[in-house]
């Protein structure tokens, strides 16, 4: 997609390109190289000395059942958040597409949560679900239900999934609504005149036509759940109880920042980088131009 | 077609709206209640009109041991603005360079930038931190935002927009004797106006909501953003001032929500470009 | 104006001033240079404790004209250590940093990034007598041969807090705190039977109190090589029979509903302050907050022991933090001298006593303790001498000196994770401790590998 007509000039384009290129080198390539180098060494926290250990850090990681559990947990978490956030968003979008009165107001009221920070979403959920302070959490405990996500791993996972998905619904809603509105009315009318009822129409016509949107959103949601959810999870459970909500990105943070295990956390970073590159490569191969996140 | 109101749609949509509004309302109502009562678990869904003083208190003095909220708001605002404007600026210029010029290594430069799409900050967080430490940029305001503007998403968007500008326009400009910079200012930028607006919303929200990176890079409490401030207020080892936490949470929500709602049209248009 | 009020408030610091500066010849060289030396002190104290830090700094600054110390709050202990590492790597470390006791292992592995106290003393002529410090305190922060590595500053130990109101409601004698674990369990059963408190028993700093302190009290080893003091190739051994018995006791009590696990590290502190728990375990430093804001009648008591494991309990170990002197590329000898003068200042008995009095931390010197006794502080504040007595009793053994393990915070997190798993029914105490030992040993091996680099 190159232009035919361009401007001449040698110095100017370099000047224009320089800021981004410099930042990219300093804040992408250099850290990436540092990560690779650190992952192949063992050094003390203060950086006083290092020794080369080859692939030891990677071997330790890949044979550590805790790391593999964390990876599995991350997959479960990402899928659960994506499915939940997309399903709720699709439901709302279908009805927002249908409704006539108050359409603009509904749209506004369903878009604003996009602005909520993941960590803030966690704070909100604390006040709803905390066993001691939360309105609903306290209610559950006084009505015979043993609710304490600070001690019960399954409940903790449920809470972080809910809080993370809650935040993501708006984004999905915007895309699903746009996708629905771009389906030609003629197609829907034709199906209706053929006698297809609402649910059948949806299943056989509408949903298949939404496939590009759905696939795009799935990738975005999976990546969001894997990385952006850090704030939500960390603010709610810090990865606990007993690692039950420790996703890979929480583990990187914990090992690198709190435990000062430079080699181990760098190895984890490298593996995460490879995973993201793989996912993005797949995304671009199959979807072409979707570039905005 | 039916002219009766679509009850099912209104119910579903109404429930959806409540799902999002209720937690915020609960926190808003709670902020006006007695913090000791909340600590004992007596949070109620009703507003206490006598409790609005908490907002003044928290804005001017913050919670015990924390920064005053106005200060954290200022940091968040400066950071979000720096990220939004900074990223737009460097993306516009680099996209422009790649599209409107020919120079050796043009393609290479583009790919170098493009690959950065694949590395969200969380993945490169510890090594970026190490690089910043070696530079001495830890605990500085610059360190808060500069690493966050380096990814390529906006560059790609502008590349698309600039590539789509009709050749006729460029020809006309050249015949008028306009140089590349004038063309950028007079044609290319206005044409991308809606995209810039949409990007501004996305980036402002992104910058405002950052948690992991500021947490890592700034230990000096004077650099606390409001999102960091809220999390720090919860679970301090002496009693948590729940009123302050809740009031600050509400305050923290307002600026990005206002930006999104006010710029809704551009925001939605910019996000879903190509869907229609 | 500030100087005058401070001088009025701290006559003792004035008296100490000539003592601190003369042997260092500081006044001479600084006067020659004509400039004030500023030293930066990173600390993690908040609220009332931060006020005390400021008082000390102001007092020092007012007592002489050559050095100004600037205290800077750097966040929690964990944040401070991480920031310290980053600053050190960038060549911008502060002169002094308050590092929590569990960071001692990491700091000892910091090589040239720190200047240990004995080295500072040698270079600057600072006189430090390790014997002036309470053994439990100095032992934790010294090298194997007795040379001090960091300067003790705020030390606490574990104690038991009793809610006297709850005891009364349960029909128990509020003035007689249970002395053994068997008595504790019986008391909790009574409390639960009479519903005298929402939570019969809880603990703050779970690993510190229920495992580390417990091992010391009962003279049980926590790790090989004298709890890590004798070498980096140490292995954890806290999964012994006696420790398993204690943890299983807690798990059983949790199932009975008499013990509630309230979270990791210091998170349960608000529970103690609220009075919801009839019996709780925590840091002696909570006393300050209890005095100020408790809305119930409470008492401080010694940690209970198990007479089936040991007849009389040994000394408990300390918590809290110490001050480390950091190096930097362009740091001058004059700056180190300035640091030494401050360290000398805070070691004086009167300052030690005042600090302990206002904060709830224990006095770290014998002289400081004596000063407080003479002032009648312990008569007026019943129970405040319990932590000191606990630290000073018995005969210090290899098991009661404290711990010196690298990445100890991570090991504590591991133990707490395993405990949380056990509380969900996933494992019993033996498995819990065995898993923790296995995972912890891996961490220790990693630390040893990187420290040798």
C328 touches chain A (CB under 8 A): no
In the three-class reduction of DSSP (H, G, I as helix; E, B as strand; rest coil), residue B179 is classed as: coil
B105 touches chain A (CB under 8 A): no
Q: Looking at CA atoms only, how far is residue A52 from chain B in angstroms?
A: 17
pLDDT at C96: 96
Q: Tell me the percentage of chain C whose pLDDT exceeds 90.
A: 60
Q: Which residue of C has its CA nearest to A38?
A: C450
Q: Which residue of B has its CA nearest to A192?
A: B1
Q: pLDDT tens-digit profile of C11-40?
A: 333 333 333 333 333 333 344 445 789 999
pLDDT at C14: 33
C406 vs B237, more confident: C406
The number of residues in chain B equals 276
Across chain B, what does the average pLDDT equal?
Answer: 84
Q: Is the pLDDT of residue B4 over 70?
A: no
How far apart are the C-alpha atoms of B84 and B69, rounded to whole Å? 22
Q: Residue ranges per domain, chain A?
A: 57-287
Query: Is residue B118 very low, low, confident or very high in pLDDT (cuts 50, 70, 90)?
Result: low
pLDDT at C286: 85
B37 touches chain C (CB under 8 A): no
pLDDT at A3: 66
Question: CB of A115 within 8 A of CB of B250?
Answer: no
Q: Which residue of A has its CA nearest to B148?
A: A27
Question: CB of B33 within 8 A of CB of B43?
Answer: yes
How far apart are the C-alpha atoms of C372 and C134, rounded to whole Å? 14
Q: Looking at CA atoms only, how far is residue B209 from chain C in angstroms?
A: 21
DSSP state letter for B7 = H
How far apart are the C-alpha atoms of A189 and A205, rounded to whole Å? 11
Q: pLDDT tens-digit profile of C207-244?
A: 999 999 999 999 999 999 999 998 899 999 999 999 99
Q: Residue A141 corresponds to which tokens in the numbers above?
A: 């405990």
Q: What are B17-25's contacts with CB under 8 Å, separation 24+?
A: B17/A106, B17/A109, B17/A110, B19/A166, B20/A109, B20/A110, B20/A112, B20/A113, B20/A166, B20/A169, B20/A170, B21/A109, B23/A124, B23/A125, B23/A127, B23/A128, B24/A124, B24/B250, B24/B253
How far apart are the C-alpha atoms of C248 and C189, rounded to whole Å? 16
Of A166, A179, A257, which has the smallest distance from its Cβ to B216's Cβ? A257
B169 touches chain A (CB under 8 A): no
Query: Averaged over C400-410, what is the pLDDT?
Result: 91
- Report which of B172, B160, B169, B175 is spatially closest to residue B98, judged by C-alpha positions: B160
B186 touches chain A (CB under 8 A): no
Question: CB of C440 within 8 A of CB of C414?
Answer: yes
Q: Looking at CA atoms only, how far is residue B235 from chain C in angstroms?
A: 7
Residues of chain C with C-beta less than 8 angstroms from the C-beta of A43: 450, 453
In the three-class reduction of DSSP (H, G, I as helix; E, B as strand; rest coil), residue C200 is classed as: strand
Q: pLDDT tens-digit profile of C264-286?
A: 888 888 888 888 899 999 999 88
Helices and strands, counts by H and E, chain B: 16, 0
pLDDT at A287: 63
Interface of B with A in 194-253 (CB under 8 A): 205, 208-212, 216, 227, 230-231, 234, 242, 245-246, 249, 252-253
pLDDT at C3: 34
Q: Residue ranges per domain, chain B?
A: 53-274
Query: Which residues have a Cβ under 8 Å from the Cβ of B265 and sit 6 or more positions away?
Result: none
- Report which of C79, C125, C120, C132 is spatially closest to residue C347, judged by C-alpha positions: C132
Q: Is the peptide bond preceding residue C428 cis, with omega within 30 degrees of 0?
A: no
CA C279 to mean position of chain CA atoms: 21
Query: Is residue C8 very low, low, confident or very high in pLDDT (cuts 50, 70, 90)?
Result: very low
Q: Is the pLDDT of residue C312 over 80?
A: yes
Query: Averaged over B235-264, what is the pLDDT?
Result: 83
How far apart are the C-alpha atoms of C258 and C256, rounded to whole Å? 5
Q: pLDDT tens-digit profile of C327-363?
A: 999 899 999 999 999 999 998 898 999 998 888 789 9
Please count the residue pairs, one from chain B and one from chain C, whose beta carbons lie less than 8 angstroms apart: 55
Of A44, A240, A243, which has the smallest distance from its Cβ to C453's Cβ? A44
C6 vs B226, more confident: B226
Please count the residue pairs, one from chain A and one from chain B, whose beta carbons lie less than 8 angstroms apart: 310
Ranges A112-116, A194-198, B237-241, C153-157: which has the least confidence: B237-241
Q: Looking at CA atoms only, how far is residue C87 from chain A in angstroms?
A: 9
Q: Looking at CA atoms only, how far is residue C93 from chain B in angstroms?
A: 11
Question: What is the number of other CB atoms lying within 10 angstroms of the CB of residue A282?
Answer: 11
* C-alpha dihedral, B23 to B29 to B35 to B36, nearest 10°: -90
Strand stretches in C93-224, DSSP E: 96-100, 114-115, 151-163, 199-203
B13 touches chain A (CB under 8 A): yes
Query: Which residues have a Cβ under 8 Å from the Cβ of A291 and sit 6 or more positions away?
Result: B117, B153, B156, B157, B160
Contact between A111 and B124 using a beta-carbon 8 Å cutoff: no
Fold of A57-287: MetI-like fold (1.10.3720)
Q: pLDDT tens-digit profile of C159-195?
A: 999 999 999 999 999 999 999 999 999 999 999 999 9
C311 touches chain A (CB under 8 A): no
A151 touches chain C (CB under 8 A): yes
Query: Which residues have a Cβ under 8 Å from the Cβ of A137 and sit 6 or more positions away?
Result: A128, A129, A130, A131, A147, A149
User: Which stretches of chain A score pLDDT less than 70?
Assistant: 1-4, 287-293
Chains adjacent to A (≥3 CB pairs closer than 8 angstroms): B, C
pLDDT at C294: 84
Query: Averaged over C282-309, what is the pLDDT?
Result: 90
Pairing of the two strands C318-326 and C96-100: antiparallel
Query: Averaged over C308-331, what is the pLDDT?
Result: 93
Q: Is the pLDDT of residue C439 over 90?
A: yes
Q: Looking at CA atoms only, how far is residue C273 from chain A in angstroms?
A: 15
Residues of chain B with C-beta less than 8 angstroms from the C-beta of A256: 125-126, 129
Q: Which residue of C has its CA nearest to A152?
A: C424
What's the start-to-end Cα distance of chain A, in Å?
A: 21
pLDDT at A1: 52
Q: What is the C-alpha R_g of chain C?
A: 22
pLDDT at B2: 53
Of C50, C90, C266, which has the smallest distance from its Cβ to B138's Cβ? C90
Contact between A151 and C424 using a beta-carbon 8 Å cutoff: yes
Contact between A109 and B17 using a beta-carbon 8 Å cutoff: yes
Residues of chain A with C-beta less than 8 angstroms from the C-beta of B12: 91-92, 95
Q: Provide the β-strand partners of residue B149.
A: none
Contact between A242 and C417 using a beta-carbon 8 Å cutoff: yes
Q: Is the pLDDT of residue C255 over 70?
A: yes
Q: Is the pLDDT of residue C79 over 90?
A: no
C73 vs C437, more confident: C437
A126 touches chain B (CB under 8 A): yes
Q: pLDDT tens-digit profile of C80-114?
A: 898 888 888 878 899 999 999 999 998 998 889 99
A264 touches chain C (CB under 8 A): yes
Across chain C, what does the average pLDDT equal?
Answer: 87
Please count the residue pairs, one from chain A and one from chain C, whose beta carbons lie less than 8 angstroms apart: 89
Interface of C with B in 336-395 (CB under 8 A): none
B135 touches chain C (CB under 8 A): yes
Q: What Cα–Cα distance (Å) separates residue C186 from each residue in B164, C200, C253, C260?
A: 81, 11, 11, 16
Helices and strands, counts by H and E, chain C: 23, 10
Of C81, C424, C451, which has the smallest distance from its Cβ to A44's Cβ? C451
Task: Kindly report the backbone phi and psi dihedral angles of residue A102, in degrees, each rounded to the nearest multiple of 5, phi listed first.
Answer: 75, 15
Fold of B53-274: MetI-like fold (1.10.3720)
Query: Is residue C314 very low, low, confident or very high in pLDDT (cuts 50, 70, 90)?
Result: very high
Interface of A with B in 185-244 (CB under 8 A): 213, 223, 227-228, 230-231, 234-235
C73 touches chain B (CB under 8 A): yes
pLDDT at B65: 64
* DSSP state letters, A176-202: HHHHHHTS-HHHHHHHHHTT--HHHHI
A51 touches chain C (CB under 8 A): yes
Interface of B with A in 74-103 (CB under 8 A): 89-91, 93-94, 96-103
Contact between B138 and C86 using a beta-carbon 8 Å cutoff: yes
- Chosen from C48, C86, C269 to mutate, greatest number of chain B CBs within 10 A: C86
Q: Provide the β-strand partners of residue C114.
A: C326
pLDDT at B91: 92
Q: Is the pLDDT of residue C10 over 70?
A: no
Contact between B90 and A23 using a beta-carbon 8 Å cutoff: yes
pLDDT at A78: 95
Q: pLDDT tens-digit profile of B170-206?
A: 888 888 888 888 888 888 888 888 889 999 999 999 9
Q: Residue B166 corresponds to which tokens in the numbers above?
A: 């009709």
Query: Is residue B90 very low, low, confident or very high in pLDDT (cuts 50, 70, 90)?
Result: very high
Q: Which residue of A has its CA nearest to C107?
A: A46
Q: Residue A43 corresponds to which tokens in the numbers above?
A: 């050094």
Residues of chain A with C-beta less than 8 angstroms from the C-beta of B209: 115-120, 231
Please list the alpha-helical segments (H only) found in C313-428. 333-346, 349-359, 366-374, 377-380, 386-392, 408-423
Interface of A with B in 157-186 (CB under 8 A): 166, 169-170, 174-175, 178-179, 181-182
Q: Which residue of C has its CA nearest to B137?
A: C90
Q: Looking at CA atoms only, how far is residue A286 from chain C in angstroms?
A: 42
Chains adjacent to B (≥3 CB pairs closer than 8 angstroms): A, C
Residue C73 Ramachandran class (φ > 0 left, ψ -120 to 50 alpha, else beta) = beta
Contact between C270 and B39 using a beta-carbon 8 Å cutoff: yes
């Amino acid at each position: 997609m190159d232009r035919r007509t361009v401007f001449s000039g040698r110095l100017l384009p370099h000047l224009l390109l320089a800021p981004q290129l410099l930042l990219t080198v300093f804040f992408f390539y250099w850290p990436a190289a540092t990560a690779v180098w650190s992952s192949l060494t063992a050094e003390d926290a203060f950086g006083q000395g290092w020794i080369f250990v080859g692939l030891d850090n990677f071997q330790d990681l890949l044979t550590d059942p805790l790391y593999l559990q964390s990876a599995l947990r991350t997959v479960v978490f990402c899928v659960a958040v994506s499915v939940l956030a997309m399903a709720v968003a699709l439901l709302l979008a279908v009805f927002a597409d249908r409704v006539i009165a108050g359409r603009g107001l509904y749209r506004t009221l369903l878009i604003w949560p996009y602005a909520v920070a993941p960590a803030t979403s966690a704070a909100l959920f604390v006040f709803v679900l905390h066993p001691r302070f939360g309105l609903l959490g306290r209610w559950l405990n006084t009505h015979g239900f043993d609710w304490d996500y600070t001690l019960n791993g399954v409940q903790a996972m449920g809470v972080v999934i809910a809080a993370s998905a809650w935040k993501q619904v708006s984004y999905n809603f915007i895309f699903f609504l746009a996708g629905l509105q771009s389906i030609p009315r003629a197609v829907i009318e034709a199906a209706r005149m053929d006698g297809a009822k609402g649910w059948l129409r949806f299943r056989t016509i509408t949903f298949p036509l939404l496939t590009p949107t759905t696939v795009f959103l799935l990738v975005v949601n999976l990546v969001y759940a894997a990385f952006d959810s850090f704030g939500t999870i960390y603010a709610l459970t810090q990865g606990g109880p007993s690692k039950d909500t420790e996703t890979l990105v929480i583990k990187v943070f914990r090992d690198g920042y709190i435990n000062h295990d430079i080699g181990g956390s760098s190895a984890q970073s490298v593996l995460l980088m490879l995973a993201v590159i793989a996912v993005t490569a797949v995304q671009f191969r199959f979807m072409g131009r979707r570039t905005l996140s | 077609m039916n002219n009766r109101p679509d009850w099912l749609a209104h119910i579903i949509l109404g429930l959806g709206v409540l799902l999002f509004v209720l937690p915020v309302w609960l926190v808003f109502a709670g902020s006006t209640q007695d913090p000791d009562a909340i600590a004992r678990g007596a949070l109620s869904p009703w507003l206490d009109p006598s409790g609005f003083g908490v907002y003044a208190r928290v804005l001017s003095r913050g919670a015990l041991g924390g920064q005053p909220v106005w200060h954290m708001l200022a940091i968040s605002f400066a950071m979000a603005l720096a990220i939004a404007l900074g990223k737009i600026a460097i993306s516009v210029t680099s996209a422009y360079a790649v599209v409107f010029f020919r120079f050796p290594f043009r393609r290479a430069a583009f790919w170098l930038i493009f690959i950065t799409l694949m590395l969200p900050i969380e993945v490169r967080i510890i090594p970026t931190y190490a690089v910043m430490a070696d530079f001495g940029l830890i605990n500085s305001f610059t360190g808060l935002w500069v690493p966050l503007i380096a990814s390529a998403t906006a560059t790609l968007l502008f590349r698309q927009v600039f590539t789509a500008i009709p050749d006729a326009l460029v020809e006309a400009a050249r015949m008028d004797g306009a140089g590349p910079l004038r063309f950028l200012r007079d044609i290319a930028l206005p044409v991308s106006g809606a995209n810039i607006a949409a990007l501004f919303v996305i980036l402002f929200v992104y910058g405002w909501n950052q948690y992991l990176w500021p947490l890592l890079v700034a230990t000096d409490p004077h650099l606390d953003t409001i999102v960091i401030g809220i999390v720090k207020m919860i679970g301090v080892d002496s009693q948590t001032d729940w009123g302050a936490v809740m009031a600050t949470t509400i305050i923290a929500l307002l600026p990005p929500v206002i930006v999104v709602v006010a710029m809704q049209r551009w925001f939605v248009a910019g996000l879903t470009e190509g869907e229609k | 104006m500030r100087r005058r009020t401070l001088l009025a408030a701290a006559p003792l610091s004035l008296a100490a001033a000539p003592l601190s500066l003369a042997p260092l010849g500081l006044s001479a060289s600084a006067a020659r240079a004509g400039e004030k030396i500023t030293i930066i002190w990173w600390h993690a104290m908040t609220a009332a404790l931060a006020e005390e830090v400021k008082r000390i700094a102001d007092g020092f600054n007012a007592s002489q004209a050559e050095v100004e110390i600037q205290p800077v709050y750097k966040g929690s202990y964990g944040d401070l250590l991480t920031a310290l590492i980053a600053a050190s790597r960038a060549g911008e470390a502060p002169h002094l940093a308050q590092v929590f006791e569990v960071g001692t292992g990491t700091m000892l592995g910091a090589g040239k990034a720190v200047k240990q106290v004995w080295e500072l003393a040698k270079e600057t002529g600072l006189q430090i007598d390790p014997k002036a410090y309470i053994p439990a305190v100095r032992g934790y922060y010294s090298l194997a041969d007795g040379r001090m590595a960091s300067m003790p500053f705020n030390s606490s130990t574990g104690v038991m807090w009793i809610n006297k109101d709850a005891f009364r409601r349960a029909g128990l004698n509020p003035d007689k705190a249970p002395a053994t674990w068997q008595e504790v369990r019986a008391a909790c059963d009574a409390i639960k039977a009479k519903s005298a408190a929402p939570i019969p028993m809880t603990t703050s700093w779970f690993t510190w109190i229920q495992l580390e302190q417990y091992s010391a009290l009962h003279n049980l080893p926590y790790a090989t090589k004298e709890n890590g003091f004798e070498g980096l190739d140490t292995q954890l051994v806290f999964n012994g029979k006696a420790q398993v018995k204690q943890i299983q006791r807690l798990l059983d009590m949790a199932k009975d509903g008499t013990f509630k696990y309230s979270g990791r590290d210091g998170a349960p502190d608000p529970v103690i302050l609220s009075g919801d728990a009839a019996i709780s375990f925590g840091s002696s430093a909570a006393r300050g907050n209890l005095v100020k804001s408790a809305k119930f009648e409470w008492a401080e008591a010694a940690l209970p022991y198990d007479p089936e494991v040991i007849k009389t309990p040994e000394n408990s170990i300390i918590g809290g933090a110490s001050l480390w002197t950091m190096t930097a590329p362009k740091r001058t000898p004059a700056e180190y001298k300035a640091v030494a003068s401050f360290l000398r200042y805070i070691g004086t008995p009167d300052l030690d006593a005042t600090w302990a009095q206002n904060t709830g931390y224990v006095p770290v010197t014998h002289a400081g303790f004596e000063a407080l006794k003479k002032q009648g502080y312990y008569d007026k504040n019943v129970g405040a001498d319990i932590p000191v007595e606990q630290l000073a009793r018995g005969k210090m053994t290899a098991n009661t000196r404290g711990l010196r393990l690298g990445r100890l915070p991570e090991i504590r997190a591991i133990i707490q994770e395993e405990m949380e798993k056990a509380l969900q029914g996933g494992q019993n105490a033996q498995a819990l401790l065995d898993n923790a030992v296995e995972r912890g040993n891996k961490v220790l091996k990693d630390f040893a590998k990187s420290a040798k680099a």
